[in-house]
Structures are given as C-alpha cells and as structure tokens.
C-alpha cells in the first residue's frame, strides 16, 4: 500500500486546499474465526480484524458537497449532503453515502468534504471490504466534523447504512470488528447486548491463514435473506411452544432443541441446529483460546464447517475442497469457511512451521482440481479503525 506522503501528494493534486480540517484514517477488513450466521440471531461471534485495510484522506469543505475519488478504480463522484439517495450504477458510492445518510439521520450535522481512498482488501472475497468502506467513511466524516462518536455507535451507523442504503440485511459483526478490532486479539462479541471481550491470540506457534477460493456465487444475498427468515420461523416456533419469551434462536439450548426439533419442518430444524450449536461452539472456543488450547479450538472450527456445510447449507464445493485439502496437511489444527458463504474464503489455524508447505500444497492441489489459482494470506489479528493523522 502507498505511504501517506504519496497519498497526500495525490490528494493535493486533485483538490484545492480549503484551509479547513484535514486528516487520514483507516479501517480494516475482517476474518471470522468462529460463529457464523449467529450475529443476526442475537448470538455470539469471534472475528478478528486483518492487516488489509482501506485508507481514506479527507478535508472539510465550506459547503455541503462531497467529492470523492477512488484511487484503486480511478473513478470519482460528487454528491450533495442534502440530497442522498442510492445510486443504481457506481454502487460503491452507496457505502459512503449510506454512512453519511445514517449520521445525518442520527442528528449529526455534517459539512461537505473532499475525499480520496485506497484499499488492499480483496473485493467480493468475504473479507468485509464493504464494512471497511462504511467504517472508514463514518470515521473520516466524524473526525473532520469534530464529532465524538463511540466505536459501538459507529458500528451501528455503518450496519444501518448497509441495511437501509446498500440494501443488504447483514448483521453487526463486520462493522463491529472493523471498528473495535485490536492487534493480537480476536473480538468476542455478544450480538444481543453488544458487549465484547478481547481474546488474546498471539501464541507464537500458531497463525491464522486465509485461503481465497476466488469464487463468489450470485446467490449470496437471496440465500442470506432466506436463512434469516428460516431462523425467524424457528424462533417463533420455540416462542409458542416454550413457557418463556424467545426473541431469537440465541435463547434456545441444545437440550430444548433436541426435545422439540422433530416438530419443526426438516429444513428449518437443520437451520436452527446450526445456529444453536454454533453459539455453543463460540463459547467453548473462547474458553479454549483463553486456556491456550489451540487444538481444541481447531476442532471446533472443523465442527463449525461441517454444520455450515450440512445443516446451514451455505458452503460450496470450492470451499469444501479447500477445507478438505487443508485438513490433509500436516500442522493444520482447524479449517472452515468464513463469512456469509457461497464462495469467498476459508480460515485455517496452522502451526507456524508448516505454513510454507501448506501454501505450496494448497495452491497446487486446488489449481489442479478447479483450474483456479487461490490466493493465500497470512495475517495476525490487526487493529481496528483509527486516525492516522488529523490536522487543523
């Protein structure tokens, strides 16, 4: 990624100095270690920020215009803060506009700004480049406008931007970890209370390795929404049958599931089984990591993938292949698909000494079977969104 001086040079060539507050900001992508499709069921997740991010440079303007230049795609646009509505073409702009729209709806007054940004988070790979763009935009606009917005509120503004403006009914995980991730820690989030805990993840023997399958099914949005609906139906069923309020599948224990599952339609029962068991896996996983028991954690990752593959049915053959190939390799403690599914990436827990051999073997075998060159990233847990510099 280019250094800040170079980026400022580009910024200064592009825009005339307004003499007002300027700054540089960043927000990372994420990988989820365990807890998939649990966030919108008010459950538990354990993602970490990765060392791939978006950097945005900005300066306030004296009017209500926002002018923005995407350095990666060499494309630009201009819009008015008084007139925000989603673009049908150039949909990347919606992530920025949506964030600003939600800030204004929350009562924050914004002045216009000149912005440029650059990203090294692969797009469409399930590593949350969209959440990072929302987060870096809201952070930039907040700081330039001298607004105090706490990270959890920021995450919610960004989630609403994605729900209302971009039109994707995502949960809170991606925006949350992009805002609150910390170096050498995974983030255990309770998606009901919004409490979080930092879980140390810097054992020198193990590393997180991400394999990008390079496939992305168009299905992801419709199937995602369908899963949400199925979970809602399951929760409604339990709410009727049990003698207490059930707001979501988060409220159901594995034992209760076992007693009543046969009364649910078969598909709905499997969806519920995944969510209920996944919540338990996250809690056990957090305990395992706290005790430094990485092999127990790896085992839970493997079980999570099985459940996503068989019961939740959001994997695909390329992801299953990457997991199978990984588990044949020496030094691999766990492997699973990560993110919404239907393509994107797998996340692997690997003993450091074996990473070189792992990369070479996976690249060769995956290419041989699918004809696709996978991309492999090794990343420690990185820090969340932050101010790189703020002047004036």
| Contact residues: ligand GLA, CB under 6 A | 32, 36-37, 39-40, 170-171, 173-174, 339-340
282 versus 288: smaller Cβ distance to ligand GLA? 282
Name the catalytic one among 174, 197, 203, 310. 174
CB of 278 to ligand GLA, least distance (A): 9
173 versus 385: smaller Cβ distance to ligand GLA? 173
Question: Which uninterrupted H or E stretch holds 214?
Answer: strand 206-216
Cα–Cα distance between 164 and 370 in angstroms, integer?
A: 37
230 versus 351: smaller Cβ distance to ligand GLA? 230
Q: Which tokens belong to 99?
A: 């964030």
Q: Kind of pairing, strands 386-391 and 22-34?
A: antiparallel
174 versus 351: smaller Cβ distance to ligand GLA? 174
CB of 155 to ligand GLA, least distance (A): 11
40 versus 358: smaller Cβ distance to ligand GLA? 40
CB of 188 to ligand GLA, least distance (A): 14
CB of 61 to ligand GLA, least distance (A): 32
112 versus 334: smaller Cβ distance to ligand GLA? 334
CB of 158 to ligand GLA, least distance (A): 11
* Catalytic residue status for 174: yes
Classified as helix, coil or strand, 66 is strand
- Within 13 Å of residue 97, how many CA atoms lie on the same side as its CB? 23
The secondary structure of residue 161, as a DSSP letter, is I
Alpha-carbon dihedral angle through residues 209, 213, 214, 219, given to the nearest 10 degrees: -120
CB of 40 to ligand GLA, least distance (A): 6
Cα–Cα distance between 90 and 75 in angstroms, integer?
A: 9
Cα–Cα distance between 191 and 102 in angstroms, integer?
A: 20
Positive or negative: CA dihedral 304, 307, 309, 313: negative
The secondary structure of residue 82, as a DSSP letter, is T
Continuous H helices in 41-91:
none
Cα–Cα distance between 157 and 101 in angstroms, integer?
A: 9
List own/partner pairs for 354-361 with CB under 8 A and 24 or more apart: 354/329, 354/330, 355/207, 355/209, 355/331, 357/329, 357/330, 357/331, 358/209, 358/326, 358/329, 358/331, 358/332, 359/209, 361/325, 361/329
Q: Is 320 exposed, middle or buried (0-12, 13-18, 19+ CB in 10 A)?
A: middle
CB of 99 to ligand GLA, least distance (A): 15
Cα–Cα distance between 355 and 361 in angstroms, integer?
A: 10
37 versus 61: smaller Cβ distance to ligand GLA? 37
DSSP codes of every residue in 114-133: EEEEEE-SPTTSSS-HHHHH
Residues taking part in catalysis: 174
């Amino acid at each position: 990624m280019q250094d800040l001086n170079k980026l400022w040079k580009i910024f200064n060539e592009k825009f005339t100095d307004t003499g007002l507050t300027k700054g540089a900001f960043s927000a990372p992508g994420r990988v989820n270690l365990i807890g998939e499709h649990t966030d919108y069921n008010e459950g538990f997740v354990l993602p970490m920020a990765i060392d791939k991010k978006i950097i945005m440079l900005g300066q306030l303007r004296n009017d209500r215009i926002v002018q923005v230049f995407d350095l990666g795609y060499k494309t630009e646009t201009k819009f008015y803060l008084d007139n925000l509505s989603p673009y049908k073409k150039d949909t990347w702009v919606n992530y920025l506009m949506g964030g600003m729209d939600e800030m204004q709806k929350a009562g924050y007054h914004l002045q216009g700004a000149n912005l440029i940004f650059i990203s090294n988070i692969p797009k469409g790979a399930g590593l949350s480049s969209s959440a990072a763009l929302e987060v870096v935009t809201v952070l930039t606009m907040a700081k330039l406008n001298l607004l105090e917005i706490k990270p959890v509120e920021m995450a919610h503004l960004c989630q609403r931007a994605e729900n209302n403006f971009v039109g994707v009914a995502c949960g809170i995980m991606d925006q949350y970890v992009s805002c609150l991730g910390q170096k050498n820690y995974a983030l255990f989030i309770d998606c009901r209370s919004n409490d979080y805990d930092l879980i140390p993840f810097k054992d020198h023997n193990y590393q997180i390795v991400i394999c990008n399958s390079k496939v992305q099914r168009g299905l992801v949005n419709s199937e995602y929404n369908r899963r949400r609906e199925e979970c809602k139906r399951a929760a409604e069923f339990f709410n009727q049958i049990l003698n207490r309020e059930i707001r979501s599948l988060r409220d159901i224990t594995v034992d209760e599931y076992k007693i009543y599952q046969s009364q649910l339609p078969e598909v709905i029962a499997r969806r519920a089984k995944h969510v209920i068991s996944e919540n338990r896996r996250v809690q056990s996983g957090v305990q395992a990591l706290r005790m430094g028991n990485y092999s127990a954690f790896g085992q839970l990752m493997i079980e999570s993938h099985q459940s996503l593959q068989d019961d939740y049915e959001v994997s695909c053959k390329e992801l299953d292949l990457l997991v199978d190939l990984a588990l044949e390799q020496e030094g691999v403690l766990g492997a699973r698909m990560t993110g919404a599914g239907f393509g994107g990436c797998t996340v692997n827990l690997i003993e450091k000494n074996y990473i070189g051999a792992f990369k070479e073997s996976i690249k060769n075998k995956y290419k041989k079977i699918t004809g696709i060159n996978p991309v492999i990233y090794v990343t420690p847990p990185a820090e969340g969104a932050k101010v790189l510099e703020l002047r004036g």
